[in-house]
């Protein structure tokens, strides 16, 4: 019988230190994609070398974009939006950001290409990007709303669109904006629910003719993007695991340096402060248009809270670790409007409620809400079925630092998609996390 190496977490000592979390995955992927459309060379400092980012880098190389790794940066040799037909299928692995953004960019770039991904990515909805792209008169085929997606160079006259986004999705918005780079005229997007704006910030920083007024974004093309140096801040979504772990630990204090503080990413801070968290932000400044700062976190006695649907887009990736925080808080926490959690790397509403309840957490699960009845002590001890979801895996490993019995996850490889140094970083802070061999 084949033995599998995975991860196990157990009751931890206090967590203390000054750290840098991994670089931002969302901004790393965008830096490669948008740099490739510049006319000239862009230096990207602190690029995250996780699987999702490297898969996007390989895709760009297959499109004949030259990218070289130097000592302290990656250099992207932009070709002003020109790509060559790839010789093979463009495989994005698990990266929803990579595949949706590149589908937009390539759909108007006069190339023939097939975009694909792993089993998890192939189950995620793609019609939400295909529909607006078809409005732009591109030639595109899809697999009944899923991957693979094929784009064709049929010499169509592409047209700008006025598109209203009913779902708070940065990936759909970014897909349309990148497609619009090659479409003469003004493309307008109306966001009913605002979402993270990394694409808009980077396009403007590199010289795009982009205007944002309240919930309306306008991009007028043609654009000639100028290469500039890009520095990637620390990933707030990775910082979230450290923040919650420190809050739940006794006698703990950690400083996280150079973390991205984009408003549309930091809803977790607002919720945790309502839960009585001791968190402060120091040294605010700017990296290529993005707000960055140092986050100082200390042990706290968390209390339950109510989280309504209006904050969902600012919190979407942090719900799994927030559910862990709620599990150990005093009192009941209620979370509403969680439909979008069902179409992430797994159905995170189902996979997290399953993992928590199997490990002793009392909860009530609804169609798009969850109530968690927090207790200072939780049992643990049952293996976690992660559904191949990196955020479920990491969240439940944090749970294991505080439960009576250890937590073992069924697999660990997918953690590399966003946080390759997860185990080492927590070990260095003082947490008990180790490799575990299971049958």
Return the active site residues.
Answer: 317
Mean residue pLDDT of the chain comes to: 96
| pLDDT value for 168 | 82
What is the residue-wise DSSP string for 349-412?
Answer: HHHHHHHHHHTT-EEEE-SSEEEEEE-S---B-SPB--TT-HHHHHHHHHHHTTSSB-EEBS--
Q: How far is CA 205 from CA 228, 229, 259, 336, 391, in A?
A: 8, 10, 19, 36, 30
Q: How far is CA 198 from CA 141, 299, 341, in A?
A: 28, 31, 21
Rounded Cα–Cα distance for residues 23 and 32 (Å) = 14
Of the ranges 13-17, 69-73, 164-168, 411-415, which one carries the lowest mean pLDDT score?
Answer: 164-168
Instruction: Examine the pLDDT at 1 and tell me if it is beyond 90.
Output: no
Listed in sequence order, the residues at least 6 apart from 54 whose beta carbon sits closer than 8 Å to its beta carbon are: none
Q: Mind listing the pLDDT tens digit for each residue in 121-176?
A: 999 999 999 999 999 999 999 999 999 999 999 888 999 999 999 988 899 999 99
Instruction: Examine the pLDDT at 3 and tell me if it is beyond 80.
Output: no
| pLDDT value for 437 | 93
Quick one: 139 exposed, middle or buried, by C-beta within 10 A (0-12, 13-18, 19+)?
middle
| pLDDT value for 155 | 84
> Residues 63-82: what's their mean pLDDT?
97
Q: Mind listing the pLDDT tens digit for each residue in 25-43?
A: 999 999 999 999 999 999 9
Find residue 254's DSSP bridge partners. 17, 297
Q: Which helix (H) or strand (E) holds 422?
A: helix 422-429
Find residue 426's DSSP bridge partners. none
* Residue 343: pLDDT band with limits 50, 70, 90: confident
Q: Mind listing the pLDDT tens digit for each residue in 267-317?
A: 999 999 999 999 999 999 999 999 999 999 999 999 999 999 999 989 999
Listed in sequence order, the residues at least 6 apart from 214 whose beta carbon sits closer than 8 Å to its beta carbon are: none
- pTM for the whole structure: 0.94
Instruction: Examine the pLDDT at 189 and tell me if it is beyond 80.
Output: yes
* Residue 2: pLDDT band with limits 50, 70, 90: low
> Residues 336-358: what's their mean pLDDT?
94
| pLDDT value for 130 | 97
Q: Which helix (H) or strand (E) holds 189?
A: strand 185-191
Contact between 76 and 65 (Cβ < 8 Å): yes
* Residue 229: pLDDT band with limits 50, 70, 90: very high
Q: Mind listing the pLDDT tens digit for each residue in 406-424?
A: 999 999 999 999 899 999 9
Quick one: 439 exposed, middle or buried, by C-beta within 10 A (0-12, 13-18, 19+)?
exposed
Q: How large is the angle between the packed helices 198-205 and 25-35, nearest 10 degrees?
A: 40
Residues in the chain: 439
Strands 253-260 and 290-298: antiparallel
């Amino acid at each position: 019988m084949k033995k599998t190496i995975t991860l196990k977490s157990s009751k931890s000592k206090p967590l203390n230190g000054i750290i840098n979390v991994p670089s931002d995955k969302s901004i790393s992927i965008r830096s490669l994609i948008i740099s490739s459309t510049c006319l000239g060379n862009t230096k990207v400092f602190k690029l995250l070398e996780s699987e999702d980012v490297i898969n996007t880098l390989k895709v760009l190389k297959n499109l004949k974009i030259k990218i070289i790794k130097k000592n302290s940066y990656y250099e992207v040799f932009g070709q002003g939006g020109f790509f060559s037909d790839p010789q093979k299928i463009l495989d994005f692995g698990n990266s929803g950001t990579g595949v949706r953004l590149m589908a937009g960019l390539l759909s108007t770039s006069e190339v023939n290409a097939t975009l694909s991904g792993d089993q998890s990515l192939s189950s995620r909805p793609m019609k939400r990007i295909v529909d607006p792209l078809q409005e732009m008169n591109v030639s595109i085929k899809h697999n009944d709303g899923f991957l693979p997606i094929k784009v064709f160079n049929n010499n169509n006259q592409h047209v700008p669109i006025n598109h209203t986004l009913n779902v708070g999705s940065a990936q759909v918005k970014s897909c349309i904006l990148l497609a619009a780079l090659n479409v003469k005229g003004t493309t307008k997007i109306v966001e009913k629910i605002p979402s993270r704006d990394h694409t808009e910030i980077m396009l403007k920083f590199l010289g795009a003719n982009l205007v944002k007024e309240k919930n309306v974004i306008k991009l007028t093309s043609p654009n000639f993007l100028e290469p500039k140096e890009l520095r990637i801040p620390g990933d707030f979504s990775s910082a979230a695991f450290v923040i919650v772990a420190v809050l739940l630990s006794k006698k703990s204090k950690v400083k996280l340096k150079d973390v991205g503080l984009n408003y549309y990413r930091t809803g977790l801070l607002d919720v945790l402060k309502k839960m009585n968290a001791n968190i402060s932000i120091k040294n605010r400044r700017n990296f290529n248009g993005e707000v960055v700062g140092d986050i100082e976190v200390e042990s706290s006695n968390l209390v339950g809270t109510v989280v309504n649907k209006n904050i969902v887009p600012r919190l979407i990736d942090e719900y799994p670790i927030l559910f862990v925080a709620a599990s150990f808080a005093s009192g009941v926490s209620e979370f509403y409007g969680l439909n979008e959690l069902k179409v992430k790397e797994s159905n995170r509403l189902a996979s997290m409620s399953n993992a928590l309840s199997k490990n002793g957490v009392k909860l009530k699960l609804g169609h798009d809400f969850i109530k968690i009845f927090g207790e200072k002590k939780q049992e643990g001890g049952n293996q976690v079925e992660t559904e191949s979801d990196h955020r479920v895996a990491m969240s439940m490993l944090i749970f294991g630092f505080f439960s009576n019995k250890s937590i073992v996850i069924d697999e660990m490889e997918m953690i590399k998609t966003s946080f390759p140094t997860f185990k080492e970083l927590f070990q260095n802070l003082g947490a008990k996390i180790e490799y575990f061999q299971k049958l």
